[in-house]
């Protein structure tokens, strides 16, 4: 996996730098909306182009499942998004024209599935965090026959233990997890592990900053059931997985509202980072995340990530609060 890992690290690192550059000169003109009214920015689109091009060059036959598509550029009547996108991309990929940009976005339409290998990408996970100057992540994972085998998370705004800003989390199936400086080289990486706690009452949990993304009231009841008294860490994006993997938080709770079904790209990279750091990632019923059924985790509800020693207790508390899934 050395080649895949190296390509993924370089692609995510470059995409993270592009996101920083966009944010440094940000204006409302660099944002548009998807049909569901959620925001998409030049950073989302540019990061997807960067990663798509890198994967196409290194692994031309590998399908890619990306969150974004070319419609945000193609359907913009003013042409503002396309022009700004090309302007930012040329700093990192000189010579790109509009057709090449749309082609890179358009090749990220894979539906995944249970056979073969494919990549899944969230170019800016936590777009609202990006917009407010908070946490966001560039999340890339490789799935092989339904199993996530490689994950890279670029977290441009996340503080490291040394006080510097910008982390890369990398995990390979069966080989562990590491945190690297976003602005440094792989040799500066350190192995990471989840918190070594055995009593869930000693835990601190992380959850989404926005209540619309996760049922914070139910998370609070689950924490109370466990005896947790420390206030939650609330932040956007898969950076939460990074915090659990390196032990800054012990539990990540994403409790679904209504019948919401999670997207594959929102969890694949983060899940393997926590798993390879010694944790367990499941849905709220304790079932493994099933990446074989398309672009969404249709056979799962919600997410629980925690050290192996307390994971079962967290699932039990979730069942006590929410009830077990029927059917």
Catalytic positions are 44, 127
Neighbours of 217 (CB within 10 A): 11
Q: Of 39, 162, 56, which Cα lies nearest the Cα of 100?
A: 56
- Identify whether the C-beta of residue 47 lies closer than 8 Å to the C-beta of residue 18: yes
Q: How far apart are CA 127 and CA 134, in angstroms?
A: 9
Q: Of 139, 126, 104, which Cα lies nearest the Cα of 9?
A: 139
DSSP string, 122-141: EEEE-HHHHHHTS--EEEEE
Residues with Cβ < 8 Å from 29, sequence gap 6 or more?
80, 84
- Identify whether the C-beta of residue 214 lies closer than 8 Å to the C-beta of residue 255: yes
The C-alpha torsion from 81 through 86 and 88 to 94, rounded to 10°, is 170
- Which letter does DSSP use for residue 28 in this model? G
The widest CA-to-CA distance across the chain, in whole angstroms, is: 57
- Residue 49's H or E segment, with its range, is helix 42-58
Residue 92 burial (C-beta neighbours within 10 Å; 0-12, 13-18, 19+): middle
Q: How far apart are CA 7 and CA 323, in angstroms?
A: 43
- Phi first, then psi: what are they for 156, rounded to 5°? -65, -25
- Which letter does DSSP use for residue 115 in this model? S
138-177: b or e for each residue (b if 16 or more CB lie within 10 Å)? bbbbbbeeeebbbbbbbbbbbebeeeeebbbbbbbbeeeb
């Amino acid at each position: 996996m050395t080649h895949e890992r190296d390509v993924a690290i370089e692609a995510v690192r470059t995409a993270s730098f592009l996101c920083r550059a966009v944010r440094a000169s940000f204006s409302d003109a660099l944002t548009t909306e998807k049909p569901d009214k959620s925001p998409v920015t030049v950073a989302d689109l540019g990061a997807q182009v960067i990663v798509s091009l890198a994967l196409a060059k290194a692994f031309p036959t590998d399908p890619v499942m990306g969150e974004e598509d070319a419609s945000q550029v193609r359907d913009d009547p003013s042409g503002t998004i396309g022009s700004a996108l090309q302007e930012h991309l040329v700093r990192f990929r000189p010579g790109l024209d509009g057709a090449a940009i749309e082609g890179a976005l358009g090749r990220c339409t894979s539906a995944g599935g249970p056979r073969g290998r494919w990549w899944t990408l969230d170019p800016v996970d936590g777009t609202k965090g990006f917009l407010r100057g908070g946490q966001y992540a560039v999340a890339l994972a490789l799935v092989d026959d339904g199993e996530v085998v490689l994950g890279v998370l670029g977290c441009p705004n996340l503080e490291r233990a040394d006080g510097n800003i910008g982390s890369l989390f990398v995990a390979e199936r069966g080989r562990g997890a590491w945190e690297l400086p976003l602005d440094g080289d792989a040799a500066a990486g350190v192995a990471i592990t989840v918190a070594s706690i055995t009593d869930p009452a000693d835990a601190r949990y992380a959850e989404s900053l926005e209540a619309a993304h996760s049922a914070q009231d139910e998370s609070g009841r689950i924490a109370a059931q466990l005896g947790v008294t420390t206030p939650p860490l609330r932040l956007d994006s898969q950076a939460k997985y990074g915090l659990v993997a390196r032990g800054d938080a012990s539990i990540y709770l994403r409790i679904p509202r209504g019948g919401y079904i999670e997207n594959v790209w929102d969890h694949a990279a983060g899940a393997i980072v926590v798993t390879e750091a010694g944790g367990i990632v499941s849905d709220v019923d304790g079932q493994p995340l099933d990446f074989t059924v398309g672009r969404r985790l249709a056979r799962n509800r919600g997410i629980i990530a925690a050290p192996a020693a307390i994971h079962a207790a967290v699932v039990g508390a979730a069942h006590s609060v929410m009830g077990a899934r029927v059917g």
